[in-house]
Chains A and B, each alone.
Chain A
C-alpha cells in the first residue's frame, strides 16, 4: 500500500517529473530494424513525447522531437534526405545533431538557421532493434546485453498494452504468481479448452529471495522438490532496471522489455534468442517480428498461453493500478524492494548523478546472470513447453525454432553416444 502521492510519483513518465527524469537516462528500443528498411521515417511515442525517427540512405539514424521548430508541423511526415530530415510543410532541414541546415523559403540574407535547433537524441541499431536515447547529454553507452549480441536464432513478439509499465515491472519481482497464474489458472483454462498445461509451471514455491545488484534485482526461488543448489535459487534471473527482465532456460535466452510509451501505454516486447547446446548457425537476414494477441473478438483477454495470462493480469489491474487500496503480504516483499529502488533512483538523478545501470565505458557485451535449468524441468522439455505454451506459438518461424531445438538435442545425444 502506498499513499496517492507516492503512487502518483512512482508511475509518472513525463519530462520534468522525478521518475520521468530517471527514465530519460536510459536507451529504449523504438523500432524494428526492418521497419525503417521498409520506410525510412517513423513517428515514435516514448515516455509521453512524440518524435520523428529516420534512417538516411547512407544508413545513419536520427531522432528529433516530432514538432518542427518552424511552425510545428510533423517531422514524422518529413522527407528523408542524405543530410537529414526535411519538414514536409516549408522544407526546413534538420540533421542528426538537430542543427537546422536549410530554410529554403528564406532569402540568403534573411536566413536564421543558427538560431533554431531541434533537440536531437541519439540512435543506434543493435540486434534487429533501433534504440534511442532522448535524455540529457552526454548520452551513456547503449548497454550491449548478452541477448542482443549472442549467436542464435531470433524472433521478436510484441503487444501494446493499455497500462502503466510499473505494474508490469512489479510482476518481474513476483515469483509466486507463476505457480498460480501459469500453474493453477493455466490448468483450469486447459481443462475447459481441452489441452494439458505444462506441469513444471505449477510447482510450489518453498522459498523466494531478492538481491539488489549492479543492473537491478536478482530474483530467486526454491521450488518444491528442489534445493538452494538448483539454478532457480543459485543463479536466479534479473530484473534489469528500470524496464527489462532477463529470463531463459533450455537453450532459450530472452529479454522481456516493457517500454513506457506513455503513462498508460506500455510496449511489451519479447526478444528471444534460441541457442541450445549443439546449435549450428542459421543465417537470418532479417529478424521476424509479430504481434501477440491480447484480446479476442469478444474483447476478452486471450489467456491460453503464458504471456497472455501475464498481460491479462497486468491490464486488469487498471490503467494505473491504485496502490492506495492494495493488500500486500510477505510474499510481495520483492515488490516493496523494487519500489524502494525506483524511489532511490529519483533522488540519485535529482542529485545530478547517473542512475543504476548507466554505463559510460565502451564494451562488447554484458552478461547477465540467468538460470539454465529452469524450474528444474530438464532443458529440452522446458524449450518445447516454451514453444507450445508461450508466445512463440504465434511466431512466423515456429517450425524453424522447433527444428533448431530438436536437431541440437539430437546432435548432443549422438555426440554423447559416440563418446561412450
Chain B
C-alpha cells in the first residue's frame, strides 16, 4: 500500500517539492529528512543528515541579499 495523495492539495505538493534541499551542507551526502516549515516570510527546512549528523535549518533566500544599515 502506498500513501494516498491528498487530491485536495496536489498542485500545492508540487510547489513544495520544487526546491527541497537534497544534500547535506556538512558532508554532501543525501539528506535523510528535510521538513519544510514557515517562519513569517521565510520558508525554511529543518534538515538532518543521517550520514554525519549535521542538523540545522536551510532558508532559501532568492537572489536578493538583504543586509542592514550599519551605524554611522
The reply to whether A325 and B37 form a contact with Cβ atoms under 8 Å apart is: no
A347 at the interface (CB under 8 A from B): yes
The reply to whether B33 and A2 form a contact with Cβ atoms under 8 Å apart is: yes
A4 at the interface (CB under 8 A from B): yes
- Chain B residues near A327 (CB, 8 Å)? 37-38
How far apart sit A322 and B4, CA to CA, in the bound complex (Å)?
7
Residues of B13-70 whose CB lies within 8 A of A = 13, 16-17, 20, 32-39, 46, 48, 50, 55
A contact residues, total (Cβ < 8 Å): 29
The reply to whether B13 and A324 form a contact with Cβ atoms under 8 Å apart is: yes
**A to B contact number (C-beta, < 8 Å):** 81
Closest residue on chain A to residue B33 by CB atoms:
A343
- Chain B residues near A263 (CB, 8 Å)? 1
Contact of B37 among A6, A11, A332, A347 (CB under 8 A): A332
Q: Is the interface of A mostly helix, strand, loop or mixed?
A: helix
Closest residue on chain A to residue B2 by CB atoms:
A8
The reply to whether B6 and A2 form a contact with Cβ atoms under 8 Å apart is: no
Q: Is the interface of B mostly helix, strand, loop or mixed?
A: mixed
- Chain B residues near A347 (CB, 8 Å)? 32, 50
A150 at the interface (CB under 8 A from B): no
How far apart sit A361 and B16, CA to CA, in the bound complex (Å)?
46
How far apart sit A327 and B16, CA to CA, in the bound complex (Å)?
10
Closest residue on chain B to residue A4 by CB atoms:
B3
- Chain A residues near B17 (CB, 8 Å)? 3, 324
- Chain A residues near B46 (CB, 8 Å)? 333, 336-337, 340
- Chain B residues near A325 (CB, 8 Å)? 6, 8-10, 12-13, 16
Binding site for A on B (CB under 8 A): 1-6, 8-10, 12-13, 16-17, 20, 32-39, 46, 48, 50, 55
Closest 4 CB pairs of A and B: A325-B9, A322-B6, A328-B37, A1-B36
